Structure formats: structure tokens, C-alpha cells
């Protein structure tokens, strides 16, 4: 079996609905000849966490439910336990795999563990001429791929002065001399700058001169991926945002939906390389030391059929709900509540969405409270009005509990309670009453 050589980097969202299409594309490329694929997940980046087994289980469930893939856990959470036989067995499993995935956690922890092993050589063999299979690295794991790595936990959470850690430098195997920065367009900070994987412009500008000679920044927006086909020597930007190549000369931004030669990346997006690709993409040469060259996406931008983030979905559904309440349309209001509940459940596998999940839960509780208020206002018999949505909410709560999405289950119950609806769990199931 001759498999394509694919190196896939994701800026975030590796277990979110937004990245299902890129994951599916990678699997389809690997199975184009009908041969089975042996997938494995590196559990190292989050191996220091007390809930590491739960995170591994949630991730494998995402790939099982979404793609029918039984992903094996490498068992490489830690390599500093003194059990060299277990480490070598884990490395052997990775060597035999056709699809290797690594995602969120701590890049510096992962690097410390991996440097004790021959893992880098095993991964390099897969993307070397004559190799085959897919390496899919996202978030923290993506940070490790380049010549230099941001110690994001130590800088953003602990407050240490910025510095670079040596990376795996796997990208050097394909001629790319860069530091990978996921979460490139992060906006969680609100009033403070958290772009560039929580560094912000000031700290990234301090770090850039410390990169090795000739190195540049390869940035990937959140919910955005880069699928590099090493046999075809092309790179496809997928998902919602863009890839950015940032160097002393400025930045070149390649929007999702475009495929470019990997030579454009190897060059760091210099003017010469951009000119060489002008027959493929219309490049706006506007750098002049500032600004951004832009390789635009097709009309509409992004990947066709792309999924909005959970925060965006929650805001849209809350507006739809409020419009329905204003119009006295209880059916449309109930539909918006149920759609939001379904969205929260669908996004529950993504461990990096805590802020947006909290936002969605708040919206869900608010919507349920407003439904209760509308019933109290005498639209119809309160139990007749609330019955369909309460029963549907309780069904969703039951499914959430079965899926161990307890935060979602609690959000549904809290929202009902705030609306004056008391839920009682009995041996025959959940019952509810409207409190006086």
C-alpha cells in the first residue's frame, strides 16, 4: 500500500464541528485506494493533566462518532516514569500507524517527554520520500513542529518573560525554516491583545529577532488548517480563517479555500515567491515593509459549508429566539432553544471552548427564563406552552448525561430552575412542575 504523505497543521478546533470537513478530507485521501488506515493519537501534550485519560477518551470518541475511526491511544503520556519497555512499545505503535494525531496541552511538556525518545525520527520517516501517511498536529502540538516553540503556558499563565524553546523542527524535513504559531487570530482577551497564541503583538515583536537566522513565523488562525501534500508539493488552507507567513519583510496571508505551492511557504512569503505563484493566485503586492500581501479566498471566503463557532452560533440563536418572542411565535422560540442545546452538545468534545461554552450556557438559561416569563404573561396555559420545550430540554439533559457531558446537563437544569420549573429525578425518569 502506497499512502500519500500528508502533513496537516491546525490552528485550533481539532475536536470541534468546524474541523470535521478537514479531518474527513484527510481520511478520504488516505483511504482512496480502499485500504484500511491505522490511526493513533499521541497523548503526550496533555499527559501531565490529572484528567488525561478522560481527555484521551473524549478525543477518541470524537473520531469514532464523527468518522467511524477507532483511534488507538499511543500510551506515551509520560516518558519519565523509568518504564523504558512501555515507551518503546508506544513508539513502535506510532511507527506502525498510518495517521498520527496530537493536539492540545503544553508544548514544552510534550517536547521534554518526546526528546527522551526516538519519536522525532519516527515522525520524520513518515513525511520523508518513500514514507507515507498523515501527521495531524494541532494547537499545542502544532507549536512543536517548527525550529522554535513558544512556551505559551509559562509566558501567558505564569508571567515569565518571553523566550523560544527549541522545537522538533520537523518542518525542516520538508525545507521549511519556521516557528509555527496556532491561535493566530485569537480574540479571547477582549480589551487586551491575545493574538499570536496569546502573545499579542508586543511580545511577538520582542521574540521575532531571537528566531534563528532565516526563520520566519507560520501562523494559523483558529479553526483553520493547512493540509500539505508532500508528494504534490502543494498546501491547501482549509477551515474558517487564513495562514499567515510573517517575516522581516512583512506578512503574506493566504485565505482558506486556496491551494498554493509549498515553495511559497518555504520562502516565508517573500516577493519573489509570491510573484512565482501569480499564475495560481492573484497576489496583492502591497507590502513595502508594512501591511499584508493577501492570497484571497474564492467568493464567500472560507471553506464551503464551514461551521460557525459556538459563540457565534449562540449569539445568532439568541437573536432568533428574541425575535420569535417579540412576534409571539412560541414554536420558533422553542426551535431556537433546542438548536442551541444541540449546538452545546455537539461542541462539548472541544476542550478549548470553555469561554464560548459558558457564553452559550448563559444564553440557553436566559432563553428558558424568557419562555417562562412569556408563559406567565398569559400567552396560553403555562404547562401547554412550556410542555414541549421542557420535555425536549429534559430529553437533551438525559442524552447529555449519557454522553457524560455533565456541564451541559447542569446548564439545562439550572436554566429550567431559573425559569421556575423544578425538575425531580425519579426511578421512572425526570418529572417537572411549575413552581408557584
Q: What is the pLDDT of residue 380?
A: 54
The domain locations on the chain are 5-295, 310-434
Q: What is the pLDDT of residue 381?
A: 58
Q: What is the pLDDT of residue 375?
A: 61
Give the H or E element holding residue 62.
helix 52-67
In 178-255, at which residue ranges do the beta strands (DSSP E only) sit? 178-181, 216-220, 224-229, 234-239, 242-247, 250-255
What's 197's DSSP letter?
H
Helix/strand/coil percent split, the chain, to 5: 45, 20, 35
Reading the chain (436 residues) residue by residue, the pLDDT tens digits are 689 999 999 999 999 888 999 999 999 999 987 888 999 999 999 999 999 999 999 999 999 999 999 999 999 999 998 899 999 999 999 999 999 999 999 999 999 999 989 999 999 999 999 999 999 999 999 999 999 999 998 998 898 999 999 999 999 999 999 999 999 999 888 789 999 999 999 999 999 999 999 999 999 999 999 999 999 999 999 999 999 999 987 899 999 999 999 999 999 998 454 443 333 344 333 343 344 544 443 333 333 334 556 777 788 888 888 888 777 777 788 888 888 887 776 666 555 445 666 677 777 877 777 776 666 555 555 666 677 778 888 888 888 888 777 878 888 888 888 878 888 888 888 888 887 6
Residues for the chain: how many in total?
A: 436
pTM for this model (two decimals) = 0.72
The DSSP code sequence of 389-405 is: HHHHHHHHHHHHHHTT-
**Distances from the Cα of 315 to the Cα of 60, 318, 361, 364, angstroms:** 29, 5, 11, 10
| Residue whose cell numbers read 433546542 | 338
Q: What is the pLDDT of residue 408?
A: 81
Class of domain 5-295: alpha beta
Q: Are 15 and 351 in contact (CB under 8 A)?
A: yes
* Residue 95: closest CA among 142, 68, 61, 135: 135
Q: What is the pLDDT of residue 406?
A: 80
Beta strands 250-255 and 292-295 are parallel
**Distances from the Cα of 210 to the Cα of 1, 133, 140, 244, 247, angstroms:** 43, 34, 21, 19, 12
Q: What is the pLDDT of residue 188?
A: 82
**For the CA atoms of 366, 308, 104, 221, what is the dihedral angle to 10 degrees?**
-130
Q: What is the pLDDT of residue 86?
A: 95
* Residue 293: closest CA among 303, 284, 304, 305: 284
**Helix (H/G/I), strand (E/B), else coil: 1:** coil
Q: What is the pLDDT of residue 285?
A: 36
Amino acid at each position: 500500500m502506497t499512502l500519500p504523505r500528508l502533513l496537516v497543521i491546525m490552528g485550533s478546533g481539532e475536536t470541534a464541528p468546524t474541523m470535521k470537513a478537514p479531518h474527513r478530507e484527510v481520511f478520504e485521501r488516505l483511504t482512496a485506494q480502499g485500504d484500511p488506515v491505522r490511526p493513533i493519537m499521541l497523548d503526550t501534550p496533555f499527559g501531565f493533566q490529572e484528567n488525561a485519560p478522560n481527555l484521551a477518551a473524549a478525543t477518541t470518541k470524537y473520531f469514532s462518532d464523527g468518522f467511524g475511526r477507532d483511534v488507538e491511544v499511543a500510551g506515551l503520556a509520560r516518558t519519565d516514569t523509568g518504564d523504558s519497555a512501555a515507551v518503546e512499545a508506544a513508539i513502535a505503535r506510532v511507527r506502525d500507524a498510518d495517521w498520527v494525531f496530537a493536539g492540545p496541552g503544553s508544548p514544552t511538556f510534550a517536547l521534554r517527554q518526546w526528546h527522551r525518545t526516538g519519536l522525532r525520527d519516527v515522525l520524520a520517516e513518515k513525511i520523508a520520500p518513500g514514507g507515507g501517511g498523515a501527521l495531524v498536529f494541532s494547537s499545542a502540538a502544532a507549536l512543536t513542529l517548527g525550529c522554535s516553540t513558544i512556551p505559551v503556558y509559562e509566558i501567558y499563565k505564569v508571567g515569565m518573560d518571553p523566550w523560544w524553546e527549541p522545537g522538533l523542527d520537523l518542518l525542516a524535513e520538508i525545507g521549511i525554516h519556521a516557528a509555527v504559531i496556532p491561535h493566530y487570530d485569537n480574540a479571547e482577551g477582549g480589551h487586551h491583545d491575545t493574538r499570536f497564541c496569546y502573545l499579542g503583538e508586543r511580545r511577538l515583536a520582542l521574540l521575532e529577532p531571537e528566531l534563528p537566522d532565516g526563520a520566519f513565523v507560520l501562523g494559523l488562525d483558529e479553526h483553520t488548517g493547512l493540509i500539505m501534500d508532500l508528494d504534490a508539493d502543494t498546501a491547501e488552507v482549509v477551515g474558517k480563517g487564513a495562514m499567515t507567513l510573517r517575516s522581516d519583510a512583512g506578512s503574506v496571508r493566504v485565505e482558506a479555500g486556496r491551494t498554493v505551492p509549498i515553495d511559497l511557504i518555504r520562502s516565508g512569503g517573500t516577493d519573489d515567491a509570491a510573484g512565482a505563484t501569480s499564475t495560481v493566485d492573484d497576489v496583492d503586492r502591497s507590502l513595502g515593509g508594512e501591511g499584508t500581501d493577501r492570497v484571497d479566498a474564492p467568493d464567500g471566503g472560507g471553506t464551503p459549508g464551514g461551521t460557525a463557532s459556538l459563540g457565534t452560533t449562540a449569539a445568532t440563536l439568541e437573536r432568533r429566539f428574541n425575535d420569535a418572542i417579540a412576534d409571539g411565535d412560541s414554536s420558533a422560540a422553542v426551535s431556537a432553544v433546542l438548536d442551541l442545546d444541540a449546538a452545546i452538545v455537539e461542541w462539548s468534545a472541544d476542550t478549548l471552548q470553555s469561554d464560548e461554552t459558558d457564553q452559550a450556557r448563559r444564553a440557553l438559561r436566559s432563553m428558558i427564563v424568557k419562555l417562562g416569563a412569556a408563559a406567565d404573561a398569559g400567552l396560553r396555559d403555562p404547562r401547554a406552552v412550556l410542555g414541549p420545550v421542557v420535555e425536549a430540554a429534559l430529553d437533551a439533559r438525559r442524552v447529555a448525561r449519557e454522553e457524560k457531558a455533565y456541564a451541559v446537563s447542569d446548564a439545562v437544569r439550572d436554566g429550567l430552575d431559573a425559569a421556575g420549573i423544578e425538575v425531580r429525578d425519579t426511578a421512572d425518569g425526570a418529572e417537572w412542575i411549575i413552581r408557584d
